[in-house]
Every structure is written in structure tokens, then in C-alpha cells.
Amino acid sequence: MDLLKRLDPLWIGLLIVGGLNWAIVALFDTNVVAEIFGTGTVADVIYVLVGLAALMLVPRLLKDTHVTGGRTHPA
């Protein structure tokens, strides 16, 4: 579990990159990831990593917002 916490800055960085890419797609109709890496396997790997980063931060987000499903846990 300690390793996953140490990787939090990586996950956050990937989410920022993904979010900025989507903003640029929406505003300027340009996909920066596709422009840099093409539309092949490397771009697909980057998209998967961004998705994985989002999944890795979901438990932390739920914990930080105190969403516990109606159960109370001691702190």
C-alpha cells in the first residue's frame, strides 16, 4: 500500500496531462497526444495509463470526501 501512495504524484500528473489534452481537443480540435505520438500503440498506451491513473485515485478521492456507503469507520 505504501508503494501506491508513493505513486500518487505520478497518477496526478497523468490526470493533469489527460485533462489538458481533453481541454485542447475541446477548444482547438487538436489531439496533442496523437500529434506527438501518432495514432498507434504508443498513444493507446498513454490513454490506458491516464485511465489507470484515474482508477488508482478513485479510492483516495472517496476516502477524502468521506463517502463510506453509510457506514461509520473509526479514524
For the segment 46-71, the average pLDDT, to the nearest whole number, is 81
C-alpha cell at 14: 497523468
- pLDDT category at 75 given cuts 50, 70, 90 is low
Q: What is the pLDDT of residues 1-38, one digit of tens each?
A: 677 778 889 999 999 999 999 999 999 999 999 999 99
- Please tell me the distance from the alpha carbon of residue 52 to that of residue 50, in angstroms, as a whole number: 5
Beta strands in the chain (DSSP E): none
